Amino acid sequence: MNRHPSPGRLRAWHLAAGAVLLAVLAAGSLFVGVGDLTPAGLLGGRPGDMRLLVESRLPRLLAVLLAGTATSVAGLVMMHITGNRFVSPSTTGTGESAAFGVLLATLFAGGEAVLVKMVMAVGCALLGTFFFVWILRRLTFRDMILVPLVGIMFGGVIGAATTFFAYRADLLQSLGAWTAGDFSGVLRGRYELLWIAGAVTALGYLYADRFTVAGMGRGFAVNLGVRYDRVVNTGLVLVAVITAVVVVTVGQIPFVSLVVPNLVTLALGDNLRHALPATALAGALLVLLCDVAGRLVRFPYEIPVSTVVGVVGSVLFLALLLRGGRRMGLR
């Protein structure tokens, strides 16, 4: 009985149109790459085609979709639980902390144990994120810009420490793999951890209303009988897990967690029940586009997705600041 469809509000067909667009692009992306794979060859049952699809192209596509979705939703949640549009896992040291965790795991458990890497990455991401929030609560002057600046500095310090130890242990090359997101190494058996990020994202949807309420502030949340601290902590764990899993499997993807949620909420408002599915879709779309672009620009060579997203994301972010600055709380 929705008698009042609202303008600017997400309607079912918007989501459906986005999903169709994503599906078309996704299907197309399967046939972009150095190995010769065509729809005709696939249907004709050419030997090797199916194997290429199942071993490489499909895993890569899934990794792109999962990472894009989870990263952007993590940004959306972070933005709400900190009440600041410029706070995202990439401006709070979360990604850097996760990379530090991967370094620790590599130093002490060798490079092969993926589960150890993940546990360490999640642990460090949690510590780093909660430490940042602890700093945040002690800041007396909580300016819209100051908070993410503090986060970026904090991330810088952790990044510097990581680089130092990686340099001493002759691991700088591996460090590059964790800090610069790249899907070219994704094969079957090497991306499946991302399903954890996908599952956590889906769980986040169950909390959508609570995250929205938390975004309205502690007083609002308490009035509505929502346990503010528990919701914030749940959100932080969600963000840390997603960020860490993405860092371990494909590396950090910059800007997505900052730009996508801001673009979507600028258009749709901050009600997560509507904004979260749209953010998930838009995040997947952006990362897929950037990955395919990175594969095509210097074909047959590849440009890492983090580089492409860095360029596209910074342009989008600047446009966002120039056009939506007032609505984002900047005067």
Partner 1 sequence: MIEIKDVTKRYGETVVLDGVSLTIAPGGVTSVIGANGAGKSTLLSVVSRLVPADGGTVTVDGMDVATTPGDRLARRLAVLRQDNHLSVRLTVRELVAFGRFPHSGGRLTAADRDLVEEAIDYFELGDLADRHLDQLSGGQRQRAHVAMVLCQDTDYVLLDEPLNNLDMRHSVQMMRRLRRMADDYGKTVVMVVHDVNFASCHSDTIVAMKDGSVVAQGTTAEMMTPEVLNAVYDLDIDVHEIGGHRIGVYFS
Task: Point out which residues bind partner 1 (CB under 8 A).
Answer: 1, 4, 6-9, 80, 83-85, 208-210, 212-213, 215-220, 222-227, 265, 269-271, 273, 327, 329
| Coil, helix or strand at residue 205 | helix
Nearer to partner 1, 70 or 272 (CB): 272
| Shortest Å, Cβ 175 to partner 1 | 36
The closest alpha carbon to 216, from 79, 74, 21, 17, belongs to 79
| Shortest Å, Cβ 276 to partner 1 | 13
Task: Note the helical H segments in the chain.
Answer: 12-29, 39-43, 49-52, 58-82, 94-109, 114-138, 146-168, 172-179, 194-206, 208-215, 218-223, 228-249, 256-268, 272-296, 305-324
Nearer to partner 1, 47 or 225 (CB): 225
| Shortest Å, Cβ 5 to partner 1 | 8
Nearer to partner 1, 41 or 324 (CB): 324
Nearer to partner 1, 45 or 225 (CB): 225
Contact 252, 246 (CB under 8 A): yes
Cα angle 162, 166, 170 (rounded to 5 degrees) comes to: 175
The torsion angles phi and psi of 217, rounded to 5 degrees, stand at: 110, 160
| Shortest Å, Cβ 216 to partner 1 | 5
| Shortest Å, Cβ 261 to partner 1 | 12
Residues 6+ apart with CB under 8 A from 212: 80, 270, 271, 272, 273
| Shortest Å, Cβ 221 to partner 1 | 9
Contact 282, 316 (CB under 8 A): no
Nearer to partner 1, 7 or 300 (CB): 7
Nearer to partner 1, 181 or 215 (CB): 215
